[in-house]
Structure 1
Amino acid sequence: MVEQFSSTQPIYMQLVQRVCRQIVRNEVQPGEKLPSVRDLAVQFGVNPNTVQRVNMELERMGIIESRRGQGMFVTEDQPRLIMMREQLKEELVTRFADEMRDVGFTDEEIVASVRSHLEKSPDQ
């Protein structure tokens, strides 16, 4: 299945974010082996060099680690994974709040709207 990508951000960064979200959603577990570069390239419909760049970035971030002769694995470093989850949350909240403020909503209106939405939304 070929993925859809935004033209506003480099593809490799979009893939980095997708992998991070998969980890946060527990779709990919700590210590789990990631598919090969070739398999991921086919899955995402991108050049293998793009996937290699994704792996390099995730490894630089401490999210995945290379095991010689075995492949790439999600880190089992729980503090690192918790930090990644918190960073993602902060980025999403900041983006949401900034956009709401840009439209002209006050902080009180934003908080009231979020509270109202969460009260009527089913738990996930």
Structure 2
Amino acid sequence: MATQRDGQQLQIRLDPGSSIPFYRQIILQVEMAIADGRVTTGYKLPTVRGLAVDLQINPNTVAKAYSELEIRGLVSTQHGTGTFIGEWSPEPSDVDRELLLSQLVHEFMSHVGSYGFTLDDVRAYLDEKPAKDGAK
């Protein structure tokens, strides 16, 4: 499930197989979009209802994510206008980064698993890849 706004600036994907609740997945992805510069101060997030429809989830889930983002000072909500990225952009915490990495690895393994690859196949490839490319 994904939603995009203004091209590729913000894309939110939810992984139903993840142990991370949907509202946390939304928070983590907005934080990472802020941290890597895909969204900047003043960027308008999708409406709660619009994002919920796009992601096929309950609007209360999106509202909870937006509320937590607002408590953290990452976004501000202007009633009748929308929710906007705030003035400052802190780096995500180590815990948040670990949760996001876990989600990304889970999505990746689900995808490669659909082609019949195993974790051992991926490990073997990664072990060989630096030697082939001269990368570290």
TM-score, normalised to structure 2, is 0.57
Which residue number corresponds to residue 113 of structure 2? none
What secondary structure, in the 3-state scheme, does the structure 2 residue paired with 1:15 have? helix
Contact 1:29-1:74 at 8 Å conserved across structures: yes
Contact 2:35-2:92 at 8 Å conserved across structures: no
User: Structure 1: any 5+ residue segments left out of the alignment?
Assistant: 96-115
What secondary structure, in the 3-state scheme, does the structure 2 residue paired with 1:85 have? coil
**Within 2, Cα distance between the matches of 1:11 and 1:90?**
14
Contact 1:58-1:64 at 8 Å conserved across structures: yes
Deviations 1:66-122 (A, max 9, x none): 123211100023xxx1xx216359954xx9xxxxxxxxxxxxxxxxxxxx8xx827x
How much is the aligned-residue C-alpha RMSD, in angstroms? 3.1
User: Structure 2: any 5+ residue segments left out of the alignment?
Assistant: 3-13, 102-129
Find out whether 1:85 has 2:69 as its counterpart.
no
Indicate the structure with greater strand content. 2
**Within 2, Cα distance between the matches of 1:15 and 1:7?**
13
Which residue number corresponds to residue 135 of structure 2? 120
Q: How far apart are 1:25 and its partner, in Å?
A: 2.0
Indicate the structure with greater helix content. 1
Contact 1:5-1:14 at 8 Å conserved across structures: no
Structure 2 residue identity aligned to 1:14: Q
Find out whether 1:49 has 2:64 as its counterpart.
no
TM-score, normalised to structure 1, is 0.61
Aligned residues: 95
Q: 1:86 to 1:35 in 2, by over 3 A?
A: closer
Percent identity between the two aligned chains: 33
1:11 to 13, 17, 22: 22
- Which deviates more from structure 2 when the two are superposed, residues 63-72 or residues 48-57? 63-72
